[in-house]
Amino acid sequence: MTSDVTRPAAAAGPAAAPYLNLLVTMVMFGSAFASSKVVVEAMPHQMAAALRFGGGGVLLIVLAAVLRRRSAPIGRTAAVRAGLIGLLGVLAYNFFFFWGLSLAPALDGSIIVPVLSPILTTATLLMLRRERASWVRVVGLLVGLAGATVFLLGAGTDTTGTKRLLGDLVFVAGAACWAAYSVLSKSLLAGIAPLRATAWGTAVGGLGLGVLAAPTAGDVAWSAVSGLAWANVVFLAVGPTAIAYLFYYRGLRSVSASTATVMMFTVPVFGTFFSTVFLGESFTGTQLTGTVVMLAGALLAVLGNTLIERTTGLRWSADRQADRQAEEVS
């Protein structure tokens, strides 16, 4: 009796593990916005980005070395491709990300980046005809872009004036960089072990951020940087960078890409929580409306075809069942 009861529970553990891995990843990603804001307030945004990804790159390289038996070594050509992707997904994206944090609340970034990036990625893939378009996805893109416009208009009406709006526009540029990274990485990183590609790209991108940050080193009053700021630097390198990527790839081993995408939309929820609780930030009413509209559009744009296929499949199954019942009655 005991063994029969415990078997399902034991089986449920491994089945739930990928989702728990992805959930940890999303919590880490969401926390990065508020944590990065603390660091940006203590030093120039270039230096904050360099410290996060310099440390994160080192940790990922060590992690890739420890787990080297599980993946093939990266060749010279693959290393070059991963490095180029790192310049876009780490250097360019985080330059805009940390710059935006120096101008606007972390709350805005936690909405714009994770919600607008999938919209821009989907729009690019559809224009390049790499994915199949449908009226649901097109409507989703239009709705998502409309929501982003409303959100930006709400930022412009905030009491901080044009500074918050400028920061949000910088976040949009960061979202565009991440979308380009998502599109190009599918082809440039094909055949490369994910962890090795991430470690190499992060290291190259982190080195580029270090070059950009070098001129600002003299502007930092290092002795005045608080222990809280340094604690957040360490947390960003370990949590949202090294640990988050490791858990993300572990989750993707057993979960479909569409499921991972849906879970990615929880990042704004966690980002909003950390920004409001720990930083005391808030939305304008217009921004809240834009957030809801943008999120709805993003879900339709990314998952539109899946929703249609599932709905069509359910209808087909229901029709077949009805036909069988009619045949049995006759």
215: DSSP letter: G
CA-nearest of 96, 25, 38, 35 to 236 is 35
CA distances from 254 to 33, 142, 265, 272, 306 (A): 28, 32, 19, 28, 19
Q: What is the pTM of this model?
A: 0.82
Backbone dihedral region for residue 105 (phi beyond 0: left; psi -120 to 50: alpha; all else: beta): beta
Specify burial of residue 73 (Cβ count, 10 A radius: 0-12, 13-18, 19+). Answer: exposed
Per-residue pLDDT, 99: 96
CA-nearest of 318, 329, 265 to 296 is 265
Q: Mind listing the pLDDT tens digit of every residue in the chain (330 residues)?
A: 444 444 444 444 567 788 888 899 999 999 999 999 999 999 999 999 999 998 988 888 888 788 776 666 677 888 888 888 889 989 999 999 999 999 999 999 999 999 998 889 888 888 888 878 788 888 989 999 999 999 998 887 666 656 889 999 999 999 999 889 888 877 777 777 777 888 888 889 999 999 999 999 999 999 999 999 999 999 999 999 888 877 877 776 667 665 667 788 889 999 999 999 999 998 888 889 999 999 998 888 877 777 666 666 554 444 445 445 545 544
Per-residue pLDDT, 264: 81
Per-residue pLDDT, 210: 95
Three-state SS at 38 = helix
Backbone angles phi, psi at 193, to 5 degrees: -55, 125
Per-residue pLDDT, 308: 64
Per-residue pLDDT, 8: 46
Per-residue pLDDT, 168: 94
CA-nearest of 198, 176, 199 to 123 is 176
Residue whose token pair is 């640990």: 243
Residue whose token pair is 């787990």: 67
For the chain, give every domain's residue range: 17-219+226-329
Per-residue pLDDT, 36: 96
How many residues appear in the chain? 330
Per-residue pLDDT, 318: 46
Asked if 168 and 104 count as a contact pair (C-beta separation under 8 A), the reply is: yes
| Cα 28 to Cα 11: distance, rounded to the nearest angstrom | 27
Residue whose token pair is 């929703």: 307
Handedness of CA 35, 282, 117, 98 (dihedral sign): negative
